[in-house]
Structure 1
């Protein structure tokens, strides 16, 4: 039977997990902060993100890219706005990760933990820039750059740890 203790246990298991904070931020920039209990900060990340998304025509470009119309996706994006997106996205993720890490472990995360966030933002921005001219377009190269940059950062952290 489901009772209050069951839900309390679930809350304790998922509350303030850095990885879950990042996943919430993936849903919408600012949700990671809201997950951490920082409503105002979440709104301060979410509202500018919505503006970048709207004026950069990101949702339309995503739709066309996922439907296979890469050329339409490339032409519809407003690159003056959309180039802010990867950095803003990563700053939001780093903040959500850092706060949930501090809450959960009662200490700040190591400086090296910033590396995946920095590299993913850099690679995603470069992917968007090159995707404006080359196949498979800014959406896929931006997403790919984000994932590759984050993966390289994690690998570098693992390689840098003493055995």
Structure 2
């Protein structure tokens, strides 16, 4: 199936909803330091508050336990990630990681070049999130041409997915 034959997804957005005990610190970290633009914010008279931050294109990455373990081993050298980890693609993972650590994140692992052609750094961040900031070293087309970057046995994604490998 070529890309022009792929039907549009019925899902228009992936939204991760996170409860933050220190709301102000979490908003400051993700909006002001990481740089996610504010899309909307709501509050009520009873003190309830929420902000929705635009994180660009969203994907849902589903990994089996062996893959999760392999990613932790490559990026960190040991098992650290909970079942859910949030990853942000950035232009410069080293500079972003430094900026996030200076703003209060705890570095779990420094920027590491991965076998899937990205530079990934791991952090524990506000709102109790374990995050990865990653910088792609190859274009989606370049990755798609490599062995092991697809979902069918031949190594190419049957859906024509733009995303070739794990984070």
- Interval containing the TM-score (normalised by the shorter chain): under 0.3
Structure with more helix by fraction = 1
Q: Which TM-score applies when normalising by structure 2? A: 0.27
